[in-house]
Amino acid sequence: MAQASTFNTQFTDIGLFVIVVAEYLTSSIEITDSAADAVNFDGIFVLCGAEGIFANGISPLYPLSCPRQILENGYCFGNPVGSMGSGRHRFPDSRN
């Protein structure tokens, strides 16, 4: 979460609005991945530590394939899709 907070601060400082999406709500999370949809975002960025949510069937907290579907839809809609650190390892799997 510290990385998401830093990312949020840095982008806000240059005038961009950041929505942090995660498996469950906390004080620093605005929306869960099960409630998110790619059409709600102008771009998608996967941070370190988030790669685990893309492995199907390991968590009861979100519908099967939901995070991967957000990435695929964002890409298909022409939104910029990026990653950082270990988050980049999920991109080859996101189009399978």
Q: How far, in Å, CA of 60 to CA of 18, rounded? A: 26
Q: What digits encode the pLDDT tens for the residues 27-66?
A: 878 888 888 888 888 888 888 777 667 666 555 665 667 7
More confident residue, 42 or 22: 42
Residue 78 domain boundaries: 2-94
Q: Which residue has the higher pLDDT, 8 or 53?
A: 8
Closest CA to 82 of 1, 11, 2, 9: 11
Q: What is the CATH number of the domain that holds 76?
A: 3.40.50.880
Number of domains in the chain: 1
Tell me what percent of the residues of the chain surpass a pLDDT of 90. Answer: 1
State whether the Cα torsion 65-71-75-79 is positive or negative.
Answer: positive
In terms of Cα–Cα distance, which of 16, 46, 42 is closest to 33?
46
Q: How many residues does the chain have?
A: 96
Res 95 pLDDT > 50: no
